[in-house]
Every structure is written in structure tokens, then in C-alpha cells.
Structure 1
Amino acid sequence: MSISKKQWAAMAAIVLGGALAVAAVLLPAGHEDHDHANPEQAEGHAESRLVKLTDAQAAEAGIRVARAGPGVLRPSSEFPGEIRFNEDRTAHVVPRVAGVVEAVPVDLGQQVRKGQVLAVMASTALSDLRSELHSARKRLELAEQTYEREARLWRERVSAEQDYLQARAAREEARIAAQNAAQKLRAIGADEAAPALNQYALRAPFDGTVVEKHMSLGEAMSDTATVFTIADMGTVWAEFIVAPQDLAAVRVGERVTISSSALNETAQGEVSYVGPLLGAQTRTATARVILRNPRMAWRPGLFITVRVLRPEEAVAVAVPASALQAMGEHRVVFAAVPGGFEAREVRTGRRDAEYVEVLEGLEPGTGYAQTNTFLLKAELGKAAVEHNH
């Protein structure tokens, strides 16, 4: 059957009308879905940064809320160092007279008092010195008697003035000789009197600890040998090395904090010395802190960390370092919001050992989680994994 032109026109009109109707139905539906996609994504994104917790749950987890506000930072620089003996209170004891060791009543590591006997030696040189002193004093005694007699006879006009003057001169010479002999004994630290003329008692110069001992019973010692090292451990030196670029931050009088990984304690002090020269090999300078050591905890040879505190700096917003958590390449603070805590990305600035300056992302007066924020980070990560699955 052939189709007329009128029939073809009617069929085309019917097809076109159907296409327009389908388009009219589909097009609004597609636009409606597109318009509602962004709000849903935004809501999901907001929920991914929210940790839902009640006030009771937060308190039970030990999460304390604080208000963001201004703070004071005390920046610091850290340097490696070592505890050393205080050389100003360390004595290298020498006998100052040659002899043979007869007794050593002290042991290595023993605490000694000033004047305590460290060793007893027998010395022929000391015997000669004591004999010289005794002889000089005998001569002085005789010269005193002669002078008194000649002075009396001269006053009575019995003897000549010349005899009196000679007696007086002899007395002065004997007095000088006795003083000289006594000074020789004092110069070597020997007592003027002893159980034996040749006995020499080596004594501690001050209160301290025997840290070195180099003599034994029967050993012959020279007058220049270092036989004991006595150190007063009540104070020690905390020495640390400073690179040239850090010298401006380390000055005499700066406050420091000293710590050691081997000790569960810290100490405070001040820089007492900064070396004027750089070492030829290390190209660093040596700085020193005189550290009080009443409990003998800081022992020479102990490796330490010296934190030099710089002047205080006021900042607009500061939070404890414990309040910050790393989320990828960013740092976040958990702001307190109704129903829980929201992770907010922040930009940080200066810091010290305890606090960090917040430049952006946390307004003054905003409540934030100050403690146990790692729990919030863990919960946030858990929620993100559940959301992806």
C-alpha cells in the first residue's frame, strides 16, 4: 500500500511530539539531581571532620577544653653537651717531697674532708728539713739567752756596747734561720712535728671525692708525681659545643635547662662562659654552665642536652603542642562545637618547648580540645574508614 504525502506528514508530527515529551520529562529530573549533589557532598565532608562526643564522654576520655587566647613563648635552642669535673674545684695532689709509701688509708671513690690524711710516706729529705728546723730553734733559744745576758751586763756597765750589739745581731740571724726552716716545711705541706722526723702525711686540700689514685704501699714516689685527684662534686661543669651560626643565641648569663636521657630529671642554670675561639678541628666554640650537684646525680662523662632559653615573645593565640595533631601534611586543632569536636586546619608560627603560635584557623575565644587529642584523631580516622566502606 502506498503512503500519501499527508500520511507522511502526520507520522512525522507524531514522532516529533513524542520526542519533545520525553525530553520534557527527563530534562528537569537531571537538573534536580545535579542541584542536590553539592549539598550532600558538603554535608558528608563536614561530617568527616566531626567527632561526635557528649560532654560526659569527653570528660571520661580525659579531654579538657580550653579557650584560645594570647600567650607568651620562650623559644629555645638545643645543643649536645657533656658533664665534666669543675676544674676550679679539682686538685691534682702531688707529694712535693720524694719518699716511700708507708700507708694509704683512703680508697678510690671515697669522700674525704679537708685536711684528712690521704697517705703516709717516709722521706729522708723531710728528715733533713725537720732537723734543720729543730737546730735553728735551738740556736735561736741560745741566742735569746745570750742577748738577754749581754743586754743586762751592758745596762749595768759591766760589758762593752759592742758585745751587746753582737748578741743582738746573732739573735736576729737565728730568728731568721728558724723562720726560714719553718717556711720550708710549710711549703711542702709537712707538719713541724711528727711521730718520726722522716714521716710525711699527705692531706686532702678540700672536701671532695677521690676520683684518681696512683700510689700503693711500698712504692717509691717522686716529688712531682700526681698520686691523687680530688674533685669537689658539689658543682660540675655542663659543657656544650656551639656552631658559629648559633653564637648570637648563646651569651653569658642566658638561662638554660639541662636534661639527660639517662636521668629522669632536669636542672636549671646560667651560661657562665663562652669560648672566644673556634676549635681548629671542629670549628665550634665551647660554652659552659656551672651546675649545682647536691645529690651527685650529674656525674662527669654523662651526655646531656642543653636548651638555651631566648627572650620571651608575646603572641596573639597560643595553644599547647599537645593540642595539635597532624592530618596528612596539615596541622589541625579540634574545636569544641555542639555535639562534639571539629577538626580545623590551622597555620602555625613560632613555638617553644610547650606552646605553639596559631596564625590562622583558630580565633581567640574559641573552645578547643587541649588534652588527649590523639583520641579524637584516632576516632576521626576510624569514622573516615567506615564512611568509605
Structure 2
Amino acid sequence: MRAYETRRGARLSAALMLALAVGACGGSTEKAEGEKPHAAAADYERGPHRGRMLRDGDFALEITLYEEGPAPLFRLYAYQNDKPLDPKGVQVNIALTRLGPKVDRFTFAPEADYLTSPAIVHEPHSFDVAVSAARAGRTHKWTYASYEGRTTITAEAARAGGVTTERAGSAMLGETLPLNGRIEITPEGKSDVVARYPGRVVSMGVELGERVRRGQVLARVESSESLQTYSVTAPISGVIVEKNVTVGGITGGQPMLVIADPTQLHAEFFLYPRDAERVRVGQPVEVTSLAGDHRLASRIEAILPTADLTNQTLVAHVPLSGPTETWRPGLGVKGTVSVGANAAPLAVRTKAIQPFRDFEVVYAKVGNTYEVRMLEIGRRTPEWTEVLGGLEPGTEYVVDGAFLIRADIEKSGASHDH
């Protein structure tokens, strides 16, 4: 088990202007009848099996946590004058008082040369320990603290650091699908400029890329039949994106010019057969630029078949809004469409989850003390993560500022030590 003791005040993340004055971060003390005090809590005596040695006169008990099997279990070794004792002659009880408080009790039976308990020592291995051992009519008792992933921070410092908490409970987890696509001008945002009568272009007053307004005269054409000259005007406002004739050229059935309005945009997302059945008109979509710098919320306005019948893909149209410099026609774009929602009996905010050793954890809050809770995780969305184990419903846990709690625990020099 790990044990450490620190008392300090510290500032966390000065660059973020967050001051967390830390008090009483994870202590560990040991009080044993007949046992000499240690110079430091982490300097407890280790036994032949690298466990914690508890002494009372000429009797000693070595506490180890066996973690080689499927679950952590206690293994205890008894000694008389530092010589191993037959475990059949020793009775031991251990009580682990966890933050909360919650008490886990263990009784032991002899096995090989040690005492063991069938009860699992659940994570986190952070608790106040009370040990009672009986042998030859004598009782020996010890108490000590063994903490990990724990720190204490004043309420004022937590507020200053932006730490917020919530109670763990049920939540609706939205199911999403990722989509890939590109930005295109809508059909309403593009128009061909066609001469009413075939003829020769007498003049043209616009260039490729020039912005024009609806009704503006773009060119003059001399009709081949009447030899009269008439004006060709812009049917919509926008930008000249195609120019197919020049002065002196002959117009026919092909467009003279093409105008596109860069403010009338939509995203075209490709739906493959495995996803197409789950996507519907009206479903919400979050649209994100490939660089991730820009995003907006929209909805699917139409689902159309593509011209490619081989792969049977569909195209979902999603309207876009915002500055034209943000969304440009032809650029790639990512989307996340919400296709449904299901209730999770227990869930936490996804942003609250932090790494700790080989676990994903949240930090439970009891008073001014914060401690890791190792999670068994189910479904996950950007907002919520389902919890299948490791956390009790109603537990108050850190949402905002969780990374600061993690940083403070790491600064304390914590290690998983038994």
C-alpha cells in the first residue's frame, strides 16, 4: 500500500492565472502499539515480501497486496522474533475506511504460508487502515493511513481555480455518426447567363472573378436575325465564376457567363449504405472545418441519391451560414450527425475524465478532499460518458478544473505503493 504525507501551499498553473492554495494534501501516518515512530511516513519498514511490517513487541505482521491475479487480494505473513509463524495460529481482521466514509472489512483464513481473504481490495487503494491480530491469547492492534490519488484544497482556492462539481447520475447519451463532405454553392446560388437570341458579342463589361449585382448589364449582343443590339443582364447577384465568350464571339445555346453567390452555401456529406438508413432529414449536425478552427450547428435539409449507382451512396445537404471567408466552396468539411439518444443509468461529463496510472478516472469530492475514482466505461459521446462501475450514483465529482486536481496530485509525488 502507498503512504505519504505532505503539508503545503502551492499555486497551480500560474499561466492560467489559477491559484489553488493547497492544504493538507494526502497524509499518511502510522500508530502502532509497541512500535517505534518512523522518521517519515513513507519510510515504513518493509518485510521479506516487500510489504508493510507492523510490530508489537516480538510479534510482527507483514501486510502485502497481491496483484498478480485477476484482482488485488491481501496476503498477510506473521512472524515471532522475525521468524515465520504458522498462519493457522493467527486470526486477523482488517477494516479499510474510505473517503466518504465507507468501510470495507476483511477476515482471513490460512493458505500455504500466509493468511488471505477472498474479498477484493477495490481501487482506489486509498484508505485509513485498522488491523487487529490475535495469537496465543494476545491481541495486537495497529492503525495507519495509506492514501493515493488524494489531495485537499480549500474551498476558496478551488473557487479561485475555477473548479466546479456535479452529482453523478443518469443522462441521455446522444448517438452520433461522423461524416465527410465538401462545401458547395446551393442550386439557388448559381445561375447561367444566356443570350436571349443568338448573335455576336458587341461588348462585355465584366471579368472573371468580378462581383456583380442583379440587373447589372454584363454584355451587349447583336442579334443574328434582326441585327438589333440588346443588353444581357445579371439574373442574380454574385461573382463571375465562368466566362465562355469574349467580345466578337458568337453566342449560342451555351451560357455566356456563370454567376455564383458565395453566401448561399451548403455542405454535401456522403452517406454510405451502412449509415444511410440511420440518417434522416431534420437531424442536427455539427459542421467543422478540416482544421477544426470553425464550427456551426445546422440540420439536414435534404437527402439525395448520387450519380454513382455502383456504391449506392447518398448525399445529405446541410445549409451553412456565416462569413464567406470561413466557408469556401470546394473545401473539405467534417460533420457529426446526431442519429438518436439513449438513457444511461449512470454517466459523467466526458470533459471531467482524466488519466491516472492505467485508468480513466474522475475526482470525487468529499468536503475539501478530492480523490480518484477508477471508472469502468461504456458508451461515450463528446458530452457524456456512461459509467458501468467504479463510481456510486450521487457522488459529487469535479467537472471543470479536473486537470488542475490531477496536476496537484502528481506534484505531490504520489506513487502506487503497497
Aligned partner of 1:65 among 137, 150, 165: 165
| TM-score, with length taken from structure 1 | 0.65
Q: Equivalent residue of 1:97, what SS?
A: coil
Partner of 2:175: 75
Q: Equivalent residue of 2:403, what SS?
A: helix
Question: CA shift at 1:377, angstroms?
Answer: 2.0
Q: Which moved more, 1:330-339 or 1:227-236?
A: 227-236
Q: Quote the Cα distance in structure 1 between the aligned partners of 2:373 and 2:415.
A: 21
- Correspondence 1:268 to 2:268: no
Shift of the 263–386 alpha-carbon distance from structure 1 to 2, 3 Å rule, reads closer
- Report if aligned partners of 1:241, 1:284 keep a CA contact under 8 Å in 2: no
Q: Quote the Cα distance in structure 2 between the aligned partners of 1:344 and 1:284.
A: 47
- Report if aligned partners of 1:271, 1:287 keep a CA contact under 8 Å in 2: no
Partner of 2:342: 313
Question: CA shift at 1:200, angstroms?
Answer: 2.4
Q: Deviation per CA, 1:353-374, whole angstroms, max 9, x where unpaired? A: 2221222222222111111212
Aligned partner of 1:293 among 315, 321, 328: 321
Question: CA shift at 1:88, angstroms?
Answer: 4.1
Partner of 1:153: none
Q: Equivalent residue of 2:202, what SS?
A: strand
- Report if aligned partners of 1:72, 1:312 keep a CA contact under 8 Å in 2: yes
Q: Quote the Cα distance in structure 2 between the aligned partners of 1:285 and 1:336.
A: 50
- Correspondence 1:207 to 2:228: no
Q: Equivalent residue of 1:312, what SS?
A: strand
Amino acid at match of 1:106: V
Amino acid at match of 1:288: A
Q: Deviation per CA, 1:226-285, whole angstroms, max 9, x where unpaired? A: 32111233432311112222122212232212121457443333323334468366x361
- Correspondence 1:53 to 2:153: yes
Partner of 1:104: 204
- Correspondence 1:362 to 2:388: no
Q: Deviation per CA, 1:269-309, whole angstroms, max 9, x where unpaired? A: 3323334468366x361322241436434221122111111
Q: Equivalent residue of 1:246, what SS?
A: helix
Partner of 1:228: 257
Give the 5 Å matches for 1:318-329. 318-329=347-358
Q: Equivalent residue of 1:378, what SS?
A: helix
Partner of 2:52: none
Overall identity of the aligned pairs, in %: 29
- Report if aligned partners of 1:317, 1:359 keep a CA contact under 8 Å in 2: yes
Question: CA shift at 1:106, angstroms?
Answer: 2.7
Shift of the 66–372 alpha-carbon distance from structure 1 to 2, 3 Å rule, reads same
Question: CA shift at 1:320, angstroms?
Answer: 1.6
Question: CA shift at 1:316, angstroms?
Answer: 2.5
Shift of the 277–81 alpha-carbon distance from structure 1 to 2, 3 Å rule, reads closer
Shift of the 387–312 alpha-carbon distance from structure 1 to 2, 3 Å rule, reads closer
Q: Deviation per CA, 1:100-129, whole angstroms, max 9, x where unpaired? A: 3332223333443333211112333242xx
Q: Quote the Cα distance in structure 2 between the aligned partners of 1:336 and 1:204.
A: 66
Q: Quote the Cα distance in structure 1 between the aligned partners of 2:239 and 2:322.
A: 13
Amino acid at match of 2:62: H
Amino acid at match of 1:34: E
Shift of the 263–301 alpha-carbon distance from structure 1 to 2, 3 Å rule, reads farther
- Report if aligned partners of 1:275, 1:285 keep a CA contact under 8 Å in 2: no
Q: Equivalent residue of 1:210, what SS?
A: strand
Which stretches in structure 1 are left out of the alignment for 5+ residues?
1-26, 128-197
Q: Quote the Cα distance in structure 2 between the aligned partners of 1:386 and 1:28.
A: 28
Q: Quote the Cα distance in structure 2 between the aligned partners of 1:113 and 1:290.
A: 26
Q: Equivalent residue of 2:276, what SS?
A: helix
- Report if aligned partners of 1:273, 1:288 keep a CA contact under 8 Å in 2: yes
Q: Quote the Cα distance in structure 2 between the aligned partners of 1:100 and 1:278.
A: 36
Aligned partner of 1:247 among 276, 300, 313: 276
Q: Deviation per CA, 1:16-50, whole angstroms, max 9, x where unpaired? A: xxxxxxxxxxx985642436997899659942221
The structure with the largest helix share of the pair is 1
- Report if aligned partners of 2:201, 2:251 keep a CA contact under 8 Å in 1: no
Shift of the 112–30 alpha-carbon distance from structure 1 to 2, 3 Å rule, reads farther
Q: Equivalent residue of 1:34, what SS?
A: strand
- Report if aligned partners of 2:182, 2:330 keep a CA contact under 8 Å in 1: yes
Partner of 1:167: none
Shift of the 238–372 alpha-carbon distance from structure 1 to 2, 3 Å rule, reads same
Q: Quote the Cα distance in structure 2 between the aligned partners of 1:262 and 1:109.
A: 26
- Report if aligned partners of 1:49, 1:342 keep a CA contact under 8 Å in 2: yes
Which stretches in structure 2 are left out of the alignment for 5+ residues?
1-54, 65-74, 77-93, 97-124, 129-143
- Report if aligned partners of 1:269, 1:289 keep a CA contact under 8 Å in 2: no
The structure with the largest strand share of the pair is 2
- Report if aligned partners of 2:166, 2:396 keep a CA contact under 8 Å in 1: yes
The count of corresponding residues between Structure 1 and Structure 2 is: 290
Q: Quote the Cα distance in structure 2 between the aligned partners of 1:263 and 1:102.
A: 48
Q: Equivalent residue of 2:147, what SS?
A: helix
Q: Quote the Cα distance in structure 2 between the aligned partners of 1:30 and 1:107.
A: 101
